[in-house]
C-alpha cells in the first residue's frame, strides 16, 4: 500500500519533516563510497568469518550486519561518521535506551509479520492496533532519551532533530490519538459466551454473575501462603482456531461501532512506521550487535578504541592489541588474553616475525590483518590506541593442507598463490604471509623468501611475513624484526608476546637443546661414556 505521507499537501509534508536524516552509516546516502566485499578466503585466514558470524548472531538485521562487517569503506570521512556514532553509544544510558527501542521495534515487526498467518480479520486488526501502540510508546521513549543526552555525532543529532519534529507533527498526533481511542473502545467491550454441547452463543454482557470470581473468593480462605502451581502451561499460538475466530466475528457483529472504527484505523494508518524511523531501527543494529559482541571482552579488562585513520601515511601502530576471534574464545573460557604492541615508522613497511613454534607468531599476523579490515568498517578495534592505514584490500597467504586431487605440488601451489597476490596488490594493499615455503629446503626457502620480500618492498606494501628463516629479518631497512618471546631461563615455555628485537632462533634452539641435554657436546659425552 502506498505511503500515507504521499497524500499530504506539499507544504504540510515539509512542515512535518523539517529535519533531514540520511542514515547512520554515511552522511550522504548516495555518496559513491567504494565498498568491496573482502575475499572470503582472507576472512577465513584471519578468522574474521568467525567474528562476523558471532557478531551477527540472531539479530533481526543479520544480513545487514554481515554485509557491513564484510565490506571495506575506502573513505576516511565516512568512517569517521561511524566513529562518531560508536563514540556516542559509549554512553551506557543512551545505549540501553536505544537497545530498548530496538527491542520494541522488533516487536512491532513481529506483530505485523504474524498478521498474515491469522485466519480472523478482526484478530489481524487487533494485532495491527497493538503494533501501533508499541510503536507510539517506542518513539516517545526514544525521543525523551535522546533529548536528555549530550550527543556529539552528526547522525544521532540529525535523528534526534528529526524525531523531535516527527513527535510534534500532526501525523504522529493523529496516530497516537487514534491508537489510544481504539484501545479504550475495545477495552470497554465485554461479552458473554454460553457453551452448551456443540452450540456456542455470544451476547452482550448485561451484568450477569461472574461465577469465576465467586469461586476464587470461596476458595481464597483455604490459601496458606505461596503454593506450587500445578497448572499445565500450554504454548500460546498467535492465530486463533476456527471456534475462536467465529466467536470473535460474532463479537464484532454485536459491537459494530467499535470494530468499524478499528477497521478504519487500520486503513488510515496502513503505513504508520515512518521511513526514517524504520531506517534508524534497521541500521542501529549494526552498532548494537558489535558493541554487544565486544562487551564481555571489555568486562574482562581488554581495551577497544576508535583508531586514528590515515589514507596517506603508512606510519601505523597499536597498543595492547590482540586477536579478536581468539580473545572471544579465551574470555568465554575464563583464560587470560595476551596483548601485544606494534609500530612501523617511515620508511619501515614490513614486519618479519620469527621465533619458536606455537609462540604467537600466527596470532600476531592475524591481529595485524584484523585491525586493518575492521578499521575499514568503522568499528572499534582491539587495543588501547591505534593508528591504522586505510588500505584498499587485505591479502593473505596462510599454509594449507595439500590436496591429493591437486596435480600441483605444495611448493608450486605456494608460488602460484603468491604470484596471484603480488599481481593484484597495489601500493595501498596490506599483505599477510604466514609460514610459506615450508615444503622446500632451507636454502631454497631463503632464496624464494628474499625474492618475495624484494617484490613486497618494491611495491611499498604494508606486510607481516611470518618465517622460520632468521636472515630475512634483516633483509632491508624497511623491515622490522619481531620475535615470539619465551620465558627467560625456560626456553620451552612461551609467553605469547611478540616483541621488536633481532631474530635469534638459533639461540632458542641451542637453549632448548641444552635444557634437554641433547647438544652435540652433551650427546657425544653421553655416547663415549
Residue-wise pLDDT tens digits, 113-137? 999 888 889 999 999 999 999 999 9
On whether the CB atoms of residues 418 and 337 are closer than 8 A, the answer is no
What mean pLDDT is predicted for residues 368-393?
A: 97
Whether pLDDT at 44 is above 70: yes
Query: Is 70 exceeded by the pLDDT of residue 247?
Result: yes
**How many CA atoms lie within 13 Å of 310's alpha carbon, on the beta-carbon side?**
11
Statement: residue 296 has pLDDT above 90: yes
Is pLDDT above 50 for 1?
Answer: no
* Backbone angles phi and psi of 479, in degrees to 5: -100, 135
Please choose, from the candidates 375, 386, 382, the residue with its C-alpha nearest in 3D space to the C-alpha of residue 79: 375
CA distance linking residue 166 with residue 93, whole number of Å: 23
CATH 3.40.50.300 domain position(s) in the chain: 300-528
pLDDT of 228 strictly over 90: no
- Minimum mean pLDDT range among 250-259, 283-292, 419-428: 250-259
Lowest mean pLDDT among 110-124, 300-314, 407-421: 407-421
- Whether the pLDDT of residue 252 is over 60: the answer is yes
Topology (CATH) of 300-528: Rossmann fold (3.40.50)
Phi, psi of 305 (to 5 degrees): -145, 160
How far apart (Å, rounded) are the C-alpha atoms in residues 194 and 375? Answer: 67
CB contact at 8 A, 362 and 325: no
Name the band, by pLDDT with cuts 50, 70 and 90, for residue 15. very low
pLDDT for 53 equals 97
214 against 108, higher pLDDT: 108
pLDDT score at 216: 81
Residue 143, pLDDT score: 97
- pLDDT value of position 468: 86
CA distances from 141 to 134, 138, 147, 179 (A): 11, 5, 10, 16
**pLDDT tier, 339 (very low <50, low <70, confident <90, very high otherwise):** very high
Residue 32, pLDDT > 60, answer: no
Closest CA to 12 of 178, 174, 169, 177: 169
Nearest CA among 130, 61, 150, 41 for reference residue 397: 41
Contact (Cβ atoms closer than 8 angstroms) between residue 492 and residue 512: yes
H/E stretch holding 230 reads: none
Q: How far apart are CA 26 and CA 24, in angstroms?
A: 6
pLDDT of residue 148: 84
**Greater pLDDT, 524 or 307:** 307
Q: With 80 as the cut, is the pLDDT of residue 308 above it?
A: yes
* Whether residue 230 has pLDDT greater than 80: no
For residue 214, the tally of other CB atoms under 10 A from its CB is 10
Classify residue 89 by its DSSP letter.
T
Q: Span 347-364, mean pLDDT?
A: 92
Average confidence (pLDDT) over 371-397: 97
State mean pLDDT over 248-268: 93
In this structure, what are the phi and psi dihedrals at residue 394, rounded to the nearest 5 degrees? -105, 125
Calpha distance 421→431 (Å, rounded): 8
**Which region holds residue 334: left if phi is over 0, alpha if psi is between -120 and 50, else beta?**
left
Distance between CA atoms of 65 and 53, rounded to whole angstroms?
9
Take residue 525 and report the three cell numbers written for it.
Answer: 659425552
Q: Please tell me the least confidently modeled range out of 20-29, 149-158, 430-439, 495-504.
A: 20-29
Please give the DSSP secondary-structure letter assigned to residue 269: T
Residues 349 and 461 sit within 8 Å (Cβ to Cβ):
yes
Pairing of strands 385-389, 316-321: antiparallel
Residue 438: its pLDDT value, please? Answer: 78
pLDDT of 202 reads 87
**pTM, 2 dp:** 0.85
- Mean pLDDT, range 299-318, rounded to an integer: 97
Instruction: Write down the pLDDT at residue 219.
Output: 82
Q: What is the pLDDT of residue 370?
A: 98
Instruction: Label residue 491 by pLDDT band (50, 70, 90).
Output: low
- The rounded mean pLDDT for the chain is 87
Dihedral through CA 378, CA 379, CA 380, CA 382, nearest 10? -110
How does pLDDT run across 153-206, given as a tens digit for each residue?
Answer: 999 999 999 999 999 999 999 999 999 999 999 999 998 888 888 888 888 988
Cα separation, 320 vs 343, in Å, equals: 12
CA–CA separation, 255 and 372 (whole Å) = 64
Give yes or no for residue 17 having a pLDDT over 90: no
Q: Does residue 108 contact residue 273 with C-beta atoms inside 8 Å? A: yes
State yes or no: pLDDT of 2 exceeds 60. no
Binned at pLDDT 50, 70 and 90, residue 265 comes out as very high
Q: Is the pLDDT of residue 12 over 90?
A: no
Across 304-308, 315-319, 371-375, 523-527, least confident range: 523-527
Q: For residues 73 and 377, is the Cβ–Cβ distance under 8 A? A: yes
Q: How many residues does the chain have?
A: 529
Strands of 168-315, DSSP E = 191-196, 199-204, 304-305, 308-310
Amino acid at each position: 500500500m502506498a505511503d500515507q505521507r504521499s497524500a499530504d499537501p506539499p507544504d504540510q509534508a515539509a512542515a512535518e519533516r523539517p529535519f533531514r536524516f540520511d542514515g547512520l552509516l554515511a552522511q550522504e546516502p548516495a555518496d559513491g563510497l567504494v565498498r568491496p566485499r573482502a575475499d572470503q578466503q582472507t576472512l577465513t585466514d584471519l578468522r574474521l568469518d568467525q567474528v562476523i558470524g558471532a557478531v551477527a548472531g540472531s539479530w533481526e538485521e543479520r544480513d545487514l550486519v554481515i554485509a557491513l562487517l564484510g565490506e571495506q569503506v575506502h573513505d576516511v570521512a565516512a568512517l569517521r561518521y561511524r566513529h562518531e556514532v560508536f563514540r556516542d553509544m559509549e554512553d551506557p544510558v543512551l545505549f540501553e535506551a536505544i537497545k530498548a527501542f530496538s527491542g520494541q521495534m522488533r516487536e512491532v515487526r513481529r506483530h505485523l509479520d504474524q498478521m498474515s498467518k491469522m485466519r480472523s480479520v478482526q484478530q489481524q486488526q487487533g494485532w495491527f492496533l497493538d503494533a501501533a501502540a508499541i510503536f507510539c510508546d517506542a518513539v516517545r521513549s526514544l525521543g525523551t532519551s535522546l533529548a536528555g543526552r549530550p550527543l556529539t555525532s552528526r547522525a544521532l543529532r540529525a535523528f534526534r532533530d528529526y524525531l523531535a519534529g516527527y513527535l510534534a507533527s500532526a501525523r504522529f498526533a493523529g496516530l497516537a490519538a487514534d491508537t489510544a481511542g481504539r484501545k479504550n473502545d475495545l477495552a470497554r467491550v465485554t461479552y458473554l459466551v454460553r457453551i452448551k454441547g456443540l452450540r456456542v452463543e455470544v451476547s452482550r454482557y448485561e451484568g450477569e454473575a461472574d461465577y469465576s470470581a465467586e469461586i476464587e473468593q470461596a476458595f481464597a480462605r483455604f490459601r496458606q501462603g505461596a503454593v506450587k502451581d500445578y497448572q499445565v502451561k500450554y504454548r500460546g499460538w498467535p492465530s486463533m482456531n476456527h471456534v475462536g475466530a467465529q466467536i470473535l466475528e460474532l463479537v464484532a457483529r454485536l459491537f459494530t461501532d467499535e470494530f468499524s472504527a478499528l477497521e478504519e484505523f487500520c486503513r488510515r494508518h496502513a503505513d504508520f512506521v515512518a521511513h526514517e524511523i524504520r531506517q534508524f531501527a534497521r541500521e542501529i543494529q549494526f552498532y548494537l550487535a558489535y558493541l554487544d559482541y565486544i562487551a564481555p571482552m571489555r568486562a574482562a579488562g581488554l581495551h577497544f578504541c576508535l583508531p586514528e585513520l590515515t589514507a596517506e601515511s603508512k606510519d601505523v601502530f597499536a597498543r595492547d592489541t590482540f586477536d579478536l576471534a581468539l580473545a572471544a574464545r579465551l574470555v568465554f573460557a575464563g583464560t587470560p588474553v595476551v596483548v601485544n604492541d606494534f609500530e612501523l615508522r617511515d620508511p619501515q613497511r614490513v614486519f618479519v616475525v620469527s621465533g619458536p613454534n606455537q609462540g604467537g607468531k600466527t596470532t600476531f599476523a592475524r591481529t595485524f590483518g584484523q585491525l586493518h579490515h575492521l578499521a575499514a568498517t568503522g568499528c572499534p578495534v582491539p587495543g588501547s590506541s591505534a593508528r591504522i592505514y586505510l588500505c584498499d584490500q587485505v591479502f593473505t597467504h596462510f599454509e594449507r593442507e595439500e590436496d591429493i586431487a591437486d596435480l600441483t605440488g605444495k611448493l608450486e601451489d605456494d608460488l602460484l598463490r603468491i604470484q596471484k597476490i603480488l599481481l593484484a596488490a597495489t601500493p595501498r594493499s596490506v599483505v599477510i604471509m604466514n609460514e610459506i615455503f615450508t615444503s622446500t629446503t632451507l636454502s631454497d626457502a631463503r632464496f624464494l623468501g628474499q625474492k618475495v620480500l624484494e617484490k613486497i618492498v618494491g611495491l611499498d606494501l604494508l606486510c607481516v611475513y611470518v618465517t622460520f628463516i632468521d636472515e630475512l629479518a634483516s633483509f632491508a631497512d624497511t623491515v622490522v624484526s619481531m620475535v615470539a618471546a619465551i620465558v627467560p631461563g625456560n626456553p620451552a615455555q612461551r609467553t605469547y608476546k611478540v616483541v621488536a628485537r633481532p631474530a635469534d632462533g638459533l639461540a632458542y634452539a641451542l637453549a632448548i637443546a641444552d635444557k634437554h641435554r641433547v647438544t652435540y657436546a652433551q650427546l657425544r659425552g653421553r655416547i663415549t661414556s
